[in-house]
Structure 1
């Protein structure tokens, strides 16, 4: 006889017992694997490390950063990270004396579901969803107000209302494409700081500046900006933007950007195209974004037809990187001859 799970029978034919075959339950092997993963997560410090890595705008965290989460020795930190890596939640890569950790490919959605869905419900199970959303919005608004005040105090060249408007616009623009809102405030600060620097840029004394624009700002333009910073040794300011920015940088491109320039990786996140970024640039390089860039007098425009990294194989991605590097090498000398 087949085992079944029954709800209590009712006399009404419209309320027949619900039958759920046992065969729909987790298989033994799947359940064992899942149990091992849950066991690995059953430690507060490991959960905090996982959330810190998932929230890092760079897409990865150094073991030296994670050591600050608790007053424990570095070997203890490494042990906990190894446990998370063993169950397949993390990937690791050694660079010099440090090891960098990132969410393993294919596990981002599962980690996000755990951190964004289950964690808030576990902490406040009785809170209504509407109440939680309202509280989050109020908290976010407070963060943005505080950020606007701080940046207004630090940017005396502009009226406070202008700075506040820039901060709010920056947050709103990034929020449109964000899938996870946990680090919207720090990203909004970086974006707002770039915009304020562009608005207050003095062409006569500032270093040369180039703006790379593609559709999603998740591949070509990010690579070009990183290569420009690296090949110019910081003597040329490189910005990037997208006509329709994506939610995040392509994972393979993110890794390449980190290899090219670790500092550039901190600023590598999709940003929308703004008029102030175009007006502040000496050169605007479009990379497949069509007519999205308005023409501003005094700004030189170039169009580079390069492949899309999101569609490329590893070999193709390397070829695209080399192609962009060659083009950047040709571009840099023009800043000194004009």
Structure 2
């Protein structure tokens, strides 16, 4: 009996010292994981963590989803409450970056749990495209130096930042990378002109904004340029720019201003500088993402999207925009 009892005692379970993390730590980590258990929030976090600028503007997240700007702001608030993000308001925009103290954790999370976003399942053509884009760094640098020389009144670092930001924004939707440099140059020059504009002098500026800058806003800007005879400066931009102008609209642009206008048209991202330089901002279905600048007049036009219309429908949309442009022009140049 004694021997059997000893055997039983030897096989008995002896509790080991507790090695689990503390309840407080587990509660904190669970809260973070719960906040990240949303596809859009993970995409927002990965966008910020991999942005070559080291930070992302709130306007950069519009391309991730069709949800409204307030919804994006809600997701950013949830991420910020986890302690992973820091934010800073500059003018009318808010910029987000990963808290340096949490960067290791964020990198480990994304590299370990989402390898497909970085290496393993990246299509070969996409990887080659990324390599080509990185190879253009020298050309971007030379462009920045040239534009800085042309604008001695502006800080060289600021000009370089504008050029690199422009290149980064346009490359996200670029299909033909060999056109990126000339397009970046056009967009950078426009942004620098917007920054330098004296709103108390010169021709009135009108900015047309739609979602993709591939249809309505491009058409409205072309019509205003044509019908004002150049007396009004018309620009266009998109909250989520497309890769190219829709063929329906490109043909209309060629009719309005000739082939040069159609060839020069390309979707451009909305910038704070463009809004600040405008006397009038006309939105077409994306008013919630446009920053509000004191002294700027805002209008919202309910205009159908020509990309979704038939040939006859496109003609109706063109006539609708033409009538609206004429009414706007009458308020800008009453003596005409």
Q: Which residue of 2 aligns with 1:155?
A: 151
Q: 2:315 aligns with which of 306, 315, 318?
A: 318
Aligned to 1:169: 165
Structure 2 counterparts to residues 109-124 of structure 1, below 5 A: none
Structure 2 distance, partners of 1:175, 1:131, is 14
The Cα of 1:183 is off from its aligned counterpart by 0.5
Structure 1 unaligned residues grouped into runs of 5+: 1-127
Aligned match for 1:306, one of 292, 303, 308 = 303
Equivalent residue number for residue 52 of structure 2: none
Q: Quick one: distance in 2 between partners of 1:158 and 1:267? A: 26
Paired residues for 1:48-59 under 5 Å = none
Residue aligned with 1:296, SS: coil
Conserved? CA contact 1:283–1:299, under 8 Å = yes
Task: Decide whether the 8 Å contact of 2:225 with 2:233 is kept in 1.
Answer: yes
User: Hey, what does 1:240 align to over in structure 2?
Assistant: 236
1:208 to 204, 207, 212: 204
Q: How does 1:187-206 map to 2 (within 5 A)?
A: 187-206=183-202
Query: How big is the alpha-carbon RMSD for the aligned residues of Structure 1 and Structure 2?
Result: 2.1
1:286 and 2:283 correspond? yes
| CA-CA distance at 1:132 after TM superposition | 6.5
What is aligned with 1:261? Answer: 257
Q: Which residues of 2 match residues 45-194 of structure 1 at below 5 A?
A: 136-137=132-133, 139-194=135-190
Q: CA deviation at 1:252?
A: 1.3
Q: Secondary structure of 1:235's partner?
A: coil
CA change 1:307–1:145 in 2 (3 A) is same
Mapped to 2, the partners of 1:264 and 1:252 lie a distance apart of 14
Displacement of 1:266 after TM fit? 3.8
* Contact map agreement 2:133 2:177 (CA 8 A) in 1: no
How far apart, CA to CA, are the structure 2 residues paired with 1:134 and 1:307? Answer: 35
Question: What is the alpha-carbon distance in structure 2 between the residues aligned to residue 312 and residue 269 of structure 1?
Answer: 20
Higher Rg of the two aligned structures: 2
Aligned length: 211
Q: What secondary structure sits across from 1:211 in the alignment?
A: strand
Per the normalisation by structure 1, the TM-score is 0.59
Q: 1:134, CA displacement in angstroms?
A: 8.0
Structure-2 change in CA distance of 1:138 and 1:233 (3 Å): same
Secondary structure of 1:182's match? helix
Relative contact order, higher structure (CA 8 A, sep 6+)? 2
Q: Which of the numbers 219, 222, 229 marks the counterpart of 1:223?
A: 219
Alignment partners' CA distance in 1, 2:198 and 2:331: 19
Does the residue aligned with 2:289 lie in a helix, a strand or coil?
A: coil
Quote the residue 1:273 is aligned against.
270
What residue in structure 2 maps to residue 250 of structure 1?
246
Distance, in Å, in 2 between the alignment partners of 1:129 and 1:295 is 40
Assess if the C-alpha contact under 8 Å between 1:229 and 1:264 holds in 2: no
Q: How does 1:9-28 map to 2 (within 5 A)?
A: none
Cα offset for 1:281? Answer: 0.3
| 2:325 counterpart of 1:328 | yes
Contact 1:157 1:200 in 2 (8 A): no
| Displacement of 1:135 | 6.5
Tell me, which stretches of 5 or more residues in structure 2 are unaligned? 1-123
Q: Deviations over 1:7-64 (max 9, x none)?
A: xxxxxxxxxxxxxxxxxxxxxxxxxxxxxxxxxxxxxxxxxxxxxxxxxxxxxxxxxx
